[in-house]
Amino acid sequence: MAEQKVMNRWYVVVGAILIQLCLGAIYAWSVFTPKLTAEGGSYNFSASQAAWVFSIGLLVFAVVMILSGRMIGQIGPRKLAVLGGIVLGAGYILGGFFGNTFASQLIFIGIIGGAGIGLAYVVPIAVGVKWFPDKKGMVTGLAVAGFGFGATIWVKSAGSWFNLLNTLNFFNLGGVQSVFLLYGVIFLLAVLVGSIVMVDPPAGYAPAGWTPPQNNPGQSAASASGLVDFVPGEMLKTPQFYMTWLTFLFSAIAGLMVIYCIKLFGIDKLTAGGMAAATASAVAGTAMAWYAIFNGLGRIVWGTVSDKIGRKMSIFLMCLFQGIIMLLFYKMGGAGISLIAGACIIGFNFGGNFALFPAVTADYFGNKNVGLNYGYIFVSYGIAGVIGPQIAGFFKDAAKGGSDPSIWVTPFVIAGVACLLGAALTLISKPPKKS
């Protein structure tokens, strides 16, 4: 092993971030919802229909991750990342050319685009924990940080940076579909570049100076475990799987609800307080962009913190803070600065999910099968992607086109209580023992 030439493992992090920047485009969905739901506009979607495109994308993303967890061992991580990039890019390109109806956007952006994300997403995580067994929390945070940061790029490019939604008009497709088309080409090319370094380390690889925990009894139990490998069939028989699954579900509902509705909520709440509609829209867009930035930061920070204090305590604190802020978020939305502050905190905590849950999956069920096992855990995220946005869309549609901001109170309370339940579940969870 010492005589083999080994790639610098930080190249894997760079490639992972590049891939995830593209996969995170789904979190930019709120930038499209005002145009899709505008009365008398080109699309005239209901709030629920706009939510369904987003929700189906998340659900397909999560379900396909189970398939990709199996495929990564069969075709290898690099080919799987390439396949994901092709499918994701194709979905958005087709959505650009043909996405003029709800059904077509559901198919191209939701189903095909979501499948592309699901195929590629697991690759940087599975490869990263093998190159960084000494820093699983940190590397999973870095590997998926691009997912959060990417949303900022795609939101601001479509909006205030380049105003692509109002300036692009490829082939007379209009702003929304032109942005889909441009983004699809970018996603395809960038994921292909990032996939070049998505390769597993050589057999027997260990970072210089790192001693596996079984040979170093003094090493903190919080820093790394994952020494006993569970296959999915074994994992599914443990109560820890279901407790982890439910905790992820409860925690993700809040973040996904806010991603979907922050622009709609911000406009309703700020205009009710006397702010001009155009200004309210700009402030809400800024809140979404900051949400995405802190989403990315949360992945890095929570992952790194969890290497120090342990995954259990980190997940408990993350869910607790998220529950509290969701219960306060309606009030915070009444002023631009507090709306942005609330969005930052929610995004920061939500981002932590994507560092902590793959890391705790590796801790509980082993490093060897983390790509496959995490796919089963991640299904909870897909279901949260339906529950969170659909709850918000239901209450918004119930207002029958009205802009009374009080309709947002109930969805936020539901999400806040769910997060507190996740915190409670985490307190009683313990690592499984393999018989």
Q: What is the 3-state secondary structure of 339-405?
A: HHHHHHHHHHHHHHHHHHHHHHHHHHHCCCCHHHHHHHHHHHHHHHHHHHHHHHHHHHHHCCCCCCH
- Pick from 35, 47, 127: which is nearest to 81 by CA? 127
Judge whether 283 and 336 are in contact, CB under 8 Å: yes
Calpha distance 122→336 (Å, rounded): 36
Q: Which two tokens stand for residue 292?
A: 């995405």
The pLDDT of residue 184: 97
Q: What is the pLDDT of residue 135?
A: 84
**What are 253's two structure tokens?**
């509902």
Burial pattern 100-118, b for ≥16 Cβ within 10 A else e, equals: eebebbbbbbbbbbbbbbb
* Structure-token pair, residue 369: 């099968």
Structural tokens at position 26: 């789904």
**Residue 17, token pair as written in the block:** 């971030």
Distance CA 81, CA 76 (A): 9
d(CA 277, CA 434): 58
> Which of 433, 70, 366, 422 lies closest to 245 in space, CA to CA?
422
**3-state SS class at 225:** coil
CA distances from 193 to 19, 22, 255 (A): 8, 11, 30
Q: Which domains does the chain have, with CATH numbers?
A: 10-201+229-427 (1.20.1250.20)
- DSSP, res 238: S
Tokens of 264: 């709609």
Phi-psi region of 88 (alpha: psi -120 to 50; beta: other; left: phi over 0): alpha
- Write down the pLDDT at residue 227: 64
> Cα–Cα distance between 291 and 340 in angstroms, integer?
8
pTM of this structure: 0.81
Distance, in Å, from the CA atom of 143 to the CA atom of 379, rounded to the nearest integer, reads 19
Alpha carbons within 13 angstroms on the beta-carbon side of residue 95 total: 30
Q: 177 near 108, Cβ under 8 Å?
A: no
Res 61: pLDDT: 93
- Give CA 103 to chain center in angstroms: 24
Segments of the chain with pLDDT less than 50:
1-3, 215-224
The sign one gets for the Cα dihedral 337, 343, 346, 348 is: negative
Q: What is the pLDDT of residue 53?
A: 95
Task: Give yes or no for a contact between 399 and 176, defined as CB atoms under 8 angstroms apart.
Answer: no
Contacts of 220 (CB under 8 A, 6+ apart): none
Tell me the one-letter amino acid at 333: G
pLDDT at 289: 85
